[in-house]
Structure 1
Amino acid sequence: MPDEGSAMRASLKEKIIDVCDRKIKDKGPDVGLSFYAFFANKNDNPPLLMEAAQWWIMTHQLDHFEKAVKIKKMVEAMA
């Protein structure tokens, strides 16, 4: 798992942007989501889930639910 100061792995970044795009398209720009939205109910990749949780909770101290447009912009702005 990348440390706090490093970039998010490309596969997670792509997954987050894709999910945000789908949620915004389906429910509009005010839709909220949590980092769990990026994973199936049966988590088959615990390290990736922990990476998302670290980024969401520890690095950015985001609320449980955030606007999908905000999350998408944050991820797109990453180097």
Structure 2
Amino acid sequence: MTPALRAKALAVCDGKIARKGEGVGLSFYAFFANRNDDPETLMDAAEWWIRTHRLDHFEKAVKIRDMLRAGI
């Protein structure tokens, strides 16, 4: 995962948690606009989420935030 994508994903996780609480879930699509205007970065996120970590489609934002902070 690129440093820019990691920073964006952390910001999205933090924002969702702040707005909806620690039980909020999300998918890697939450890191992107509703249109596919950056397919390379989308595939980078999908690779990290699906192939590397074998995460479910929806995961707790807290879990993803903690993984990202740990550099996983």
TM-score, with length taken from structure 2? 0.96
Is residue 40 of structure 2 the alignment partner of residue 47 of structure 1?
A: yes
Inter-partner Cα distance in structure 2 for 1:36 and 1:74: 17
The unaligned stretches of length 5 or more in structure 2 are none
Larger radius of gyration: 1
> Match of 1:22?
15
Report the Cα offset of residue 44 of structure 1: 1.1
SS in 2 for 1:37: helix
Q: By percentage of residues, which structure has more helix?
A: 2
TM-score, with length taken from structure 1? 0.88
Inter-partner Cα distance in structure 2 for 1:44 and 1:10: 19
> Percentage identity across aligned positions?
62
> Match of 1:37?
30
Instruction: Please provide the CA RMSD for this pair.
Output: 1.0
Inter-partner Cα distance in structure 1 for 2:2 and 2:53: 16
